[in-house]
Amino acid sequence: MRDVAVIGVGMNKWGELWNDSHRTIWTDAALKAIEDAGVDRVDSMYVGCMSGGLFVGQEHLGAMLADQLGMGPIPGTRVESACASGGLAFRLAYMEVASGMSDIVLASGVEKMTDVDGAAATYALSTAADQEYECFHGITFPGLYAMMARVHMSRYGTTQKQLAEVAAKNHANGSLNPNAQFPMKVTAEQVMNSPAVADPLRLLDCSPITDGAAAAILVPLDKVKEFTKNTPVRIAASAHATDTMALHDRGDIAAIESTARAAEKAYAQAGIGPKDLSFCEVHDCFTISEIMAIEALGLVEKGQGGAAAESGLTALSGKMPVNPSGGLKSKGHPVGATGVAQVYEIVNQLRGNSDKRQIKDAHWALAQNMGGTGASSLVHIFERLS
Amino acid sequence: MDVGIVGYGAYVPRHRIKVEEIAKVWGADAPTYKKGLMLGEKSVPSPDQDVITMSVEAARHALTRSGIDANKIGAIYIGSESHPYAVKPSGTIVADAIGATPNIHCADMEFACKAGTEGMFVAMSLVKAGEMDYALGIGADTSQGAPGDALEYSAAAGAAAFIMGKEKVLAVCEHTHAHMTDTPDFWRREYQHYPRHAGRFTGEPAYFDHVVPCGRGLLEKSGTTPKDFQWAVFHQPNGKFPMRAGKKLGFSTEQMKQGWLAPILGNTYSGSSPMGLSAVLDVAKPGDRIFMVSYGSGSGSDGFIFRVTDEIAKVQKAAPQTREQLEDNPIYIDYGTYAKYRGKIRMLED
Amino acid sequence: MIGSPRSWREKPQRYRYEAGKCSGCSKIFFPPRLVCDACGSKTFETQVLAQTGVVETFTIIEVAPSGFTDEAPYAVGIIKLDDGVKVTAQIADCKPEELKLGDKVRLEFRKVTEDGASGILHYGYKFVLA
């Protein structure tokens, strides 16, 4: 296998993009990544998208978006793993380059979520859970994570305020990110006083409904100089794991086992451990998700995730910054794009391009992206090359 | 051959609304209604409860008491005026849910409030005729009264199920009698949401002129007098009518009290006298005789005489009892919640 | 919109709670599966689930998906049945404030959802406090 590097990334300002369609949002991000990389061609492309069908009635996205990019007849592959679709698209692009099959591969993700109303969007997202044995009973994603949160709170003493502190921290980070959908700062009190969505989760414990896309260009590390003058970022590890589809079939409802498994493989591939990381981008679709993710990644002991944001450990200035981009919480969560946008943040941080939210001397960084209640997880580790 | 009830069960939803709560909305005088109807509150089905769900629960209680395998049941007849589908049987869903399909005969019955005893009557007759070993008759309703109408104070929800058979009979059916005429006292036309009624005409020429002669016919046919019975149950459109009809026939309050559920349950239509019967079976002793007359508008009455056997004591506590369900943990709701639960609020259409 | 075929196919589970018990290791799967994830066996026998259990976790849905918006708020929980199988289902007829982890519940047959005003009604299991 060849070593693979990211040489270009692109994304748009996320939000409710009323003027932009699924195809224009995606094409904009893809063009930005191509421009950033400085390449004049793409050999193959992957698009992560959770539900073009339910959100905009459009499937067959591989072909459609290759066409929109003006790159036909290159192979265009649409990838779906619920909210981990972007992470999985990135992994497949990595595999295609690593295998030697292609040299310049576009990894991307997109979701256009605001063409349907809230109940329809809630339904579309719920298709990431077991339709017949979870969704049939009227459960939602906030509801599933709320059930995880309740067990975490009861078992480890995690508090409502600790959940809220995750949101406050990520909004503080997002306020420094010009691409964030909700760059406003919020206090833990505001989070705790926001309307209930699925008890114990409140509105501000949840990531928003977002339109957006992100893209990255991957090439073999040993050919970087042929294609670009940019400093490459090396993909040190790529790992993927699954778990039971239904939350109720898990041995432990308050843990993300698929992330733990993927992390274990990723650390082994990269030859580092959690202590070596400079920062992480994790899948905080809900405040409780970040808490469980950092536990699964080994950044804190199991059960100690609740205290991490409250104590400042995971703040931008903390010992282990988590979600410097603002995370899904503040930056937004166009589900298929999220995994690739994590790479966008990491590449910019490792290049030293992150302006006010720059983490000093960042060397190793990790991206964790998950689908459903953690039925699938992707973990990627990146290294800055000097 | 002794044919009769080999298993029985009732189901009562937990929600209740008080007469005062309804009267408040319509500017009506609650004490007048409470006195006039002799009832203080009624059961309300939650949005996830209907004739099918209540029938399944009641039938499962009946199966538990009977101790038989559901696949031995040869027929299911559900009597109701509020079957969830206008076209598509309730019976097949109930049969599938209790595990009685596919070797089973199903029919949904409708005869205003008499449909439940009709199902029992036919189920018993088929067993008696030797067509099958067991047959299930169910009376269930989630009846609607038009907002502000007198019926709104009484139209309630509940179900009772009876498995008829000839082995290990709990209550032998000794006699039946029926009395019907065309009397338009209460009806609901196709596509109408709420029923209409003919006011005071529903009393003397309708309810009383069917329940009482049916009861008299039953006494005559069986050669019995009210003294021969420990228990009597009548259809209960309100609290007042059954007591008056019973007294006319010569029954005492003492005989009628146990099966007189309307004051705290309301009128469960097809479930009304069947639920009264299940409440009596919950406490009856071997050898007791039960006198029962139903009523359905349009109009007609079915009468039954049951003799309780030694088997009864073994099963009374085997499943939830009727009054226990009625009295334990009611959830009182306000009129707004009631209106939402009963689909009385005009919603945005898809 | 679930439609007739999907609803009809799930009847053994929704109406009668039929699970598959692995002939190799006795692990119970609900719904039944074709292969056991514990021992790899491909033979199963039908076993009806226990109909009482405890609330392992729960939430109160305030923002409901399409098809459930009229019912919110409502409780959904993961119930650990007495046979060890866990299922997700609504906990009906309860006040949110009275629900606690570890509460004993029993199954009741209820209407779970419906395909709009003119479509099929979908029945199945919910739980109520025991």
DSSP string, A295-340: HHTTSS-TT-HHHHHHHTTTSTTSSS-B-TT-HHHHH---TTTHHH
CB interface of C with A, residues 11-70, below 8 Å: 13, 30-31, 56-69
CATH number, domain of C100, equals 2.40.50.840
Inter-chain contact C63–A139, Cβ cutoff 8 Å?
no
- What is the pLDDT averaged over residues B215-244? 98
Measured between CA atoms, the residue of chain A closest to residue C66 is A119
- Contacting residues for A254 by C-beta, under 8 A, at least 6 apart: A148, A151, A152, A155, A156, A292
| A43 and A164 housed in the same domain | no
Regions of chain A where pLDDT drops below 50:
none
Per DSSP bridges, beta strands C28-29 and C18-22 are: antiparallel
The active-site residue, picked from B41, B81, B152, B311, is B81
Quick check: is A333 catalytic? yes
pLDDT at residue C58 greater than cutoff 80: yes
Could C110 and B52 be called an inter-chain contact, meaning their C-beta atoms sit closer than 8 Å? Answer: no
Give domain status of residue A50, yes or no: yes
Tokens of B111: 């005869």
Strands B73-79 and B105-109: parallel
- Asked whether this chain's domains B4-170+315-341 and B172-312 adopt the same fold, the reply is yes
* CATH no. for B172-312: 3.40.47.10
Does B47 sit within 8 Å of C70, measured CB to CB?
Answer: yes
* Subunit contact A139:C62, Cβ cutoff 8 A: no
Domain spans, chain B:
4-170+315-341, 172-312
pLDDT at position A133, please?
97
Q: Indicate which residue of A22, A49, A83, A380 is catalytic.
A: A83
Neighbours of chain A (3+ CB pairs under 8 A): C
Query: Which residues of chain C lie closer than 8 angstroms to A198, CB-CB?
Result: 59-63
Question: How many Cβ atoms from other residues are within 10 Å of residue B172's Cβ?
Answer: 18
Same domain, yes or no: A157 and A304: yes
Give chain C's end-to-end CA distance (angstroms, integer).
Answer: 32
d(CA B123, CA B133) in angstroms, rounded, equals 10
Tell me whether residue A127 is in a domain: no
* Cβ atoms C59, C88 nearer than 8 A: no
**Contact flag C113-A198 (C-beta cutoff 8 Å):** no
- Give the Cα separation of B30 and B114 in Å (integer): 29
Residue A350 inside a domain? The answer is no
Same domain, A228 and A246: no
Subunits with at least 3 CB pairs below 8 A relative to chain C?
A, B
**Residues C60/C96, Cβ–Cβ less than 8 Å:** yes
Q: Which CATH number applies to B4-170+315-341?
A: 3.40.47.10
For position C95, what pLDDT does the model report?
87
- N- to C-terminal Cα distance for chain B? 57
Predicted local confidence at residue C67, as pLDDT? 86
d(CA A169, CA A178): 16
Q: Is residue A90 part of a domain?
A: yes
Angle between helices A287-296 and A141-156 (to 10 degrees): 60
Closest CA to A198 of C63, C96, C90, C57: C63
Domain identity same for A100 and A146:
no
Looking at the structure, tell me whether residues A245 and A215 fall in a common domain. no
A283 among known catalytic residues: no
- Pair (A244, A315) in one structural domain: yes
Are A137 and C67 an interchain contact pair (Cβ–Cβ within 8 Å)?
Answer: no
Q: Are A300 and A313 in contact (CB under 8 A)?
A: yes
Best probe of the A interface among C8, C9, C62, by most A CBs < 10 A, is: C62
pLDDT mean over B301-318: 98
Q: How far is B169 from chain C (nearest CA, A)?
A: 27
Subunits with 3+ C-beta pairs closer than 8 A to B = C
* Chains C and B share 3 or more Cβ pairs within 8 Å: yes
Q: Packing angle between helix A141-156 and helix A118-126, nearest 10 degrees? A: 70
Interface TM-score (ipTM) > 0.85: yes
State which residues form the domain around A242: 138-206+236-330+358-384
Encode pLDDT of A12-22 as tens digits. 999 999 999 99
How many domains does chain C divide into? 1
B314: Cβ contacts below 8 Å, ≥ 6 apart: none
Q: Does B350 score more than 70 pLDDT?
A: no
Q: What CATH number should be reported for the domain holding residue A70?
A: 3.40.47.10
- Element of type H or E holding A263: helix A257-270
Establish if C120 touches chain A: CB-CB under 8 angstroms: no
At B54-69, the pLDDT tens digits run 999 999 999 999 999 9
Alpha-carbon gap: C63 to the closest alpha carbon of chain A (Å): 5
Instruction: Kindly indicate the confidence band of residue B300, based on its pLDDT and cuts at 50, 70 and 90.
Output: very high
Q: A225 with A365, same domain?
A: no
Q: Are A157 and A289 members of one domain?
A: yes
Regarding whether A227 and A163 lie in a shared domain, the answer is no
Return all residues near B8 (Cβ < 8 A) that are at least 6 apart: B61, B62, B65, B160, B161, B162, B163, B170, B277, B278, B281
Chain C residues touching B97 at Cβ < 8 A: 15-16, 109, 123
User: Which of C15, C16, C126 is the closest to B48 by Cβ?
Assistant: C126
Give strand pairing partners of A274: none
Number of folded domains in chain A? Answer: 2
Instruction: Find which of A127, A132, A202, A252 to mutate to test the C interface (most C CBs within 10 Å of its CB).
Output: A132
Distance from CA of A295 to the nearest CA of C (A): 20
Q: Write down how long chain B is.
A: 350
Q: What's residue B235's pLDDT?
A: 98
- The H or E element spanning position B75 is strand B73-79
Two structure tokens written together for A180: 């964030």
Active-site position among A152, A171, A283, A333: A333
Residue B205 has pLDDT above 80, yes or no: yes
The one-letter code for the residue type at A204 is L
> Which among B49, B93, B96 has CB closest to C110?
B49
Cα nearest neighbour of C87 on chain A? A248
Percent of chain C at pLDDT exceeding 90: 88
pLDDT at C96: 86
> Mean per-residue pLDDT for B14-29?
97
**CA–CA gap between residue A194 and residue A210 (Å, rounded):** 19
Task: Specify the pLDDT at position C69.
Answer: 86
pLDDT bucket at B349, cuts 50 / 70 / 90: confident
Numbers of helices and strands, H then E, in chain A: 14, 11
Tell me the two tokens of residue B252: 């005492």
